[in-house]
Amino acid sequence: MSILVTGGAGFIGSHTVVELQEAGYDVVVLDNLSNSNVKSLERVEAITGKKVPFYKADILDREALEEIFSKETVEAVIHFAGLKAVGESVQKPWEYYENNIAGTLTLVDVMRKHGVKNLIFSSSATVYGDPAFIPITEQCPKGQCTNPYGWTKSMLEQILSDIQKADQEWNVILLRYFNPIGAHKSGTMGENPNGIPNNLMPYVTQVAVGKLKELGIFGNDYDTHDGTGVRDFIHVVDLAKGHVKAVKKTEEKPGLKIYNLGTGVGYSVLDIVNNFEAATGVKVPYVFKPRRPGDIATCYSDATLAKEELGWVAEYGIREMCEDAWRWQKNNPNGYDE
Ligand code: NAD
Ligand code: UD1
């Protein structure tokens, strides 16, 4: 069975390609490299010992997609390609809706023309908005997103669900990720943000390696055990393995499925700092700053459904997430750039 991975050169995509190849799947990667470096795929090849066929292409480019689907035997698509910077999406909503929504519509249209109707889509816990209850199950109603990025995920979930409803030959699995961190054990692959990181763990590792002076902690007056925001951090390799299980699930012709991929455990920002320091022995200086607009106090999953229906559970704990993120950052202070 061969799988097309869109956005496969990116953070989660590249880790997923490793797990797919190691599970015996043939993989083809498509990426426009707008937020990634093709070196990630060289690192994948070094780990798995297998070639990764790669197309530098855009999901908005119908002709390029036609060519890929004509040349390759694609049975399922894991669709990671998309823009994901929350703040940027507020500044550039058109670009986000165009890239993420129009891009996905084009991809799905080419897929159906070629009779490929198995799709695994990268959604996000952001679709729950300020969640109605914690821990968040898939039954939790979707909420108001606070930015265009979040809305692209929420709208695409609706669009893909409607497409599946109208044509039951489709198998659509929506995976709602919580907060992926960590890196491959080898220390050769990891998160490679452009410029100053927006997300917590890459900020922490860049402070630890001396590229940034101190961590700003956004808010210490939330209603949480220590006043800082609580999230469900999940090791990216666990997340990648969840995709392998989802691919396997499509063989059962499940129709439409939605799964949370998280650990079910919430850690605060200060817990992350403390765990990082304990796991690595490196100090992370920090200062408290005002709350970041759009942030919520607490977000963590109940991932029981993925356990029951996919046979998937997150296996790595916070220590490994910190150790692995640090190994990647320390060995590659400039990410994939020399
Ligand atoms: P990433 O930016 O590392 O990977 C996305 C990849 O898609 C990049 O390699 C980028 O070059 C590519 N891409 C973007 N637009 C494209 C286009 N038009 N055509 C072809 N390629 C394109 O991000 P990631 O963290 O690996 O996230 C993967 C997916 O998971 C994204 O859809 C993201 O929104 C979603 N997601 C990520 C997180 C997270 O915390 N990282 C959380 C929830 C959901
Ligand atoms: C963010 C996005 C979310 C997206 C997810 C994965 C926002 C508002 N939400 O989630 O839509 O799906 O990334 O890409 O951006 N923090 C600090 N200092 C920092 C960075 C973060 O204190 O320098 C805190 C935040 O306030 C938050 C926690 O760390 O409490 C996690 O933040 P982050 O890593 O950005 O993820 P989310 O905000 O949960």
- Kindly state if the Cβ of 191 falls inside 6 Å of ligand 1: no
Q: Is residue 46 predicted with pLDDT exceeding 80?
A: yes
**Across 280-301, average pLDDT:** 97
Calculate mean pLDDT across residues 78-86. 97
Q: What torsion do the CA atoms of 209, 294, 303, 317 make, to the nearest 10 degrees?
A: 20
Check if 190 has its Cβ closer than 6 Å to any atom of ligand 1: no
Ligand 2 centroid–CA 127 distance in Å is 14
Residue 154 has pLDDT above 90, yes or no: yes
d(CA 193, CA 180): 13
CB distance 82 to ligand 1 below 6 Å: yes
Could you tell me if the CB of 231 is within 6 A of ligand 2? Answer: yes
Give me the chain's average pLDDT, please.
97
With a 6 Å cutoff on the Cβ, whether 124 touches ligand 2 is: yes
Task: State in Å: Cα 31 to ligand 1 middle.
Answer: 9
Residue 297 has pLDDT above 80, yes or no: yes
pLDDT confidence of 198, banded at 50, 70, 90?
Answer: very high
- Sequence-distant (6+) residues with CB within 8 A of 132 are 140, 141, 143
Average pLDDT value for residue range 194-218: 96
- Of ligand 2's listed atoms, the one at least distance from the Cα of 150 is 11
The phi and psi torsions of 2 (rounded to 5 degrees) equal: -115, 140
The tokens for 183 are: 């890196």
Ligand with the closest atom to the CA of 61: 1
pLDDT tier, 1 (very low <50, low <70, confident <90, very high otherwise)? low
Compute how many other C-beta atoms are within 10 angstroms of the C-beta atom of residue 95.
13
Average pLDDT estimate for 252-276? 98
In whole angstroms, what is the distance from residue 265 CA to residue 223 CA? 17
With a CB cutoff of 8 Å and minimum separation 6, the contacts of 159 are: 101, 104, 105
Is 286 in the active site?
Answer: no
**DSSP alpha helices (H): ranges in the chain?**
11-22, 39-48, 62-71, 86-91, 93-96, 103-113, 148-166, 200-208, 236-250, 269-280, 304-310, 318-331
How many C-beta neighbours within 10 Å does residue 37 have?
Answer: 17
Active-site entry in 55, 97, 149, 259: 149
Q: Which of 176, 199, 232, 261 to mutate to test the pocket of ligand 2 (most atoms within 8 A of CB)?
A: 199
Residue 330 has pLDDT above 80, yes or no: yes
